[in-house]
Amino acid sequence: MPLLEVRGLRAGYEGIPVVFGVDLEVGRGEVVALLGANGAGKTTTLRAISGAIPQLGGTVLFDGRPLHGLSPERVARAGLLQVPEGRGIFRSLGVDETLRLAANLAGLAKADLAERVEEAYATFPRLRDRRNQAAGMLSGGEQQMLALARGLIARPPLLMIDEMSQGLAPTLVADLFEIVAGFPARGVSVLLVEQFVGRALEVATRAYVLEKGEVSFAGSAATLAADESFVRSSYLGNVAAEEVAAARAEGANGHAPLGEEVKVTLPAALLRGLEERAEREGVAADELVRKLVTSSLTRAGGRARNGGRTRSTGETPTPREKGRRRGPA
């Protein structure tokens, strides 16, 4: 059974599909590339898988269980995390704070927590040098490292990475791809959305190409890499970038209302710091936690911790939540 099995997925905005019947699979230990021109529907596909926008049709099975109708927090708890386009970094949170927060959200025990943070610094030494800096002060490349480190810290079975290399220097991109290639060895399979097609095909075992919301190629990465006309043409978008930007600016940016909530418990000091930062950034602390949860929580989470305070990602707690904390059984 594949780790992720997507069949006939339809997804879009305000009920109008822009992704029509996508089939794709990610196996355990695989890096799979999802490629395609601007506006082809790559991000929409990832968002529908992660529950950020509704699935309009088809099925998504993760580890054999349907994800249909689950909130992004629930999906994260099930072990499917997303490193979003634009990285989703919180500018006023420090580097170390971001990593510790992610480890806390994942419910790691204290000893494991320190070890995982240390491991993140070993993987991304530049983050260690910047550990006390606010994330917003980091370079674009360092922010991407932080987003990857945050996603990796909980060792999710599946990490979906959207446009990791956007805006980064080619040498840095090469380094990041090399690091991502090592994720499966840590138990983390990867679904990689990329426009750096050549690099993506080097680290991926299999690839899918989306064209106007439909899969136009599914097969081995080596086969696709050998198709020179594809590799060359893949840099030409079939939808003007401005058009995509305009659609996004209009709003409806794909965040479904939270259908279900997930409770997270954080050490009080960490939460206090978080609330202060959230206020400084002019965002609600709940909103901040909610976003962090979808990029850094896995099934390891949810354990109550002594001395911690609980944050709910939903508007109103419901009694039935209690027994369902750990996500799909």
Ligand X SMILES: Nc1ncnc2c1ncn2[C@@H]1O[C@H](COP(=O)(O)OP(=O)(O)OP(=O)(O)O)[C@@H](O)[C@H]1O
Residue 44 binds which entry of Mg ion, ligand X, none, CB below 5-8 Å type-dependent: ligand X
Among ligand X, Mg ion, none, what binds residue 79 when CB lies within 5 to 8 Å by partner kind? none
Tokens of 8: 């006939």
**Sole residue written with tokens 């080596």:** 222
Any contact of residue 247 with ligand X (CB under 6 A)?
yes
Beta bridge mates, 207: 33, 219
Q: Of 63, 19, 70, 61, nearest to 40 (Cα)?
A: 19
Nearest CA to 176 out of 143, 223, 129, 135 is that of 143
| Angle between helices 140-152 and 110-123 in degrees, nearest 10 | 140
Rounded Cα–Cα distance for residues 254 and 55 (Å): 11
The yes or no reply on residue 143 touching ligand X (CB under 6 A) is no
CA dist 58 and 68 (Å) reads 9
Binding to Mg ion, residues 20-59 (CB under 5 A)? 42-43
The answer to whether 149 and 127 have CB atoms below 8 angstroms apart is yes
Q: Does 18 bind ligand X (CB under 6 A)?
A: yes
Residue 38 contacts ligand X per CB under 6 A: yes
Residue 87 and residue 265: Cα distance in Å, rounded? 24
Residue 244 interacts with ligand X (CB under 6 A)? Answer: yes
Tokens standing for residue 190: 């990867």
Q: Which residue number, 29 or 254, has a Cβ lying nearer to ligand X?
A: 254
By CB under 6 A, which span of 73-81, 88-96, 102-110, 239-247 interacts with ligand X?
Answer: 239-247
- Tell me if 254 contacts ligand X by CB under 6 A: yes
Q: Does 44 bind ligand X (CB under 6 A)?
A: yes
Q: Does 82 bind Mg ion (CB under 5 A)?
A: no
Q: How many residues bind Mg ion (CB under 5 A)?
A: 2
Residues within window 251-310 making contact with Mg ion, judged by CB under 5 A: none
Which residues of the chain form contacts with ligand X (CB under 6 A)? 13, 18, 36, 38-44, 239, 244, 247-248, 252-254
Binding site for Mg ion (CB under 5 A): 42-43
